[in-house]
Amino acid sequence: MIGNATFRHDNAALLAVSSVEAPVAVTSAEFDERLAPSLKRLKLSRKLLERVAGVTERRWWSPGSSFDDAAIEAGAKALAEAGVEPGQIGLLINTSVTRKNLEPSVAVKIHHGLGLPSSAMNFDLANACLGFVNGITLAANMIDSGQIKYALIVAGEDAQPTQETTFERLNHPDSTRADYLREFATLTLGSGAAAAVIGPADAHPESHRILGGVSRAGTEHHELCVGGPAGMFTDTKGLLENGLELVVSAWHEAHRDGWNWTAMDRYVTHQVSTSYTNAIIKAVDLVRERVPITFPKWGNVGPASLPMTLAQESQTLSSGDRVLCMGVGSGLNTTMMEIAW
């Protein structure tokens, strides 16, 4: 392949990554109870979410809380952990899928809520579940170029409104087994928030170097998973098969270009389900014990999923550890990014 599938960074580092858990745990058993009328009518098991997806529970925000307020909270935590003042931030990227309005951007409220300076660029970057990793790449490139010194990447997700409309639709007397399977992935979603501070590695020798990685697109599959406020409609089998093919292609492309990810200390993947995780592990022969799993308790938190998992793992990572962040987003797109802890 001729092009820019692989990339490297010269002087960018992860200074801090933080997360905010939504406080209300909602179990899959509760979802089954909400869907009991249709499950009985369609002769479907009450245990599909746990048995097939491996999702035991997911989180919702408490009444009166919002995803963008949680993103502000996560951003403030990350800045404090990094020891970076709001006035030092030159770029804010919000990568949330969730949004209340088409405009203005979600980023403007977060920029204001964090008290960032007028000189700090701010905008939304949307690329399904891959947005947060894309945001880190963009920020790292801008740091390498000297355009900015520090960047803040955030994501806040709220699955409840979409899931409420899904309950209503699936419990309609005219719903079918095909409808349930097409919207099954919606029931695995969860709420949460995450943030990361990116800065120059030479000014922070104790930080975690963002080395680079690989990105690949398979946009011929852009109709396999289509989501909006009314619901998320997925060809689960097609998404898994074609997503895996894209991951394998990107993996081999990276290794042809000099990367070696066969013995990483941690593989932090976008969290989807048991079948997805098992398939990724098998496809590129990952060491299972080095793949942390968070979807059973959080569900799929969209672009916040991977950084929330990374924030959890950061408590047990040691200096010198090699971490590979791996994500696939609807569309399809995939990115893998190596961080030297």
Clarify whether 325 is annotated catalytic: no
Count the neighbouring beta carbons within 10 Å of the beta carbon of residue 153.
30
Task: Give the C-alpha separation, 327 to 215, whole Å.
Answer: 10
Clarify whether 225 is annotated catalytic: no
Task: Give the C-alpha separation, 70 to 73, whole Å.
Answer: 5
Cβ contact 92:116 at 8 Å: yes
Selecting among 73, 129, 183, 225, the annotated active-site residue is: 129
Task: Give the C-alpha separation, 191 to 169, whole Å.
Answer: 21
Q: Which amino acid is at 115?
A: G
Cα 220 to chain centroid distance, Å, stands at 22
β-pairing, 6-8 vs 12-21, is unpaired
Cβ contact 336:214 at 8 Å: yes
Task: Give the C-alpha separation, 233 to 230, whole Å.
Answer: 10
Q: Where would I find the H helices in the chain?
A: 28-34, 36-42, 48, 67-82, 106-113, 131-145, 160-170, 177-182, 236-256, 274-283, 295-298, 305-313
Cα distances (angstroms) measured from residue 146 to each of 125, 140, 206, 211: 21, 10, 20, 17
Residues annotated catalytic, as ranges: 103, 129
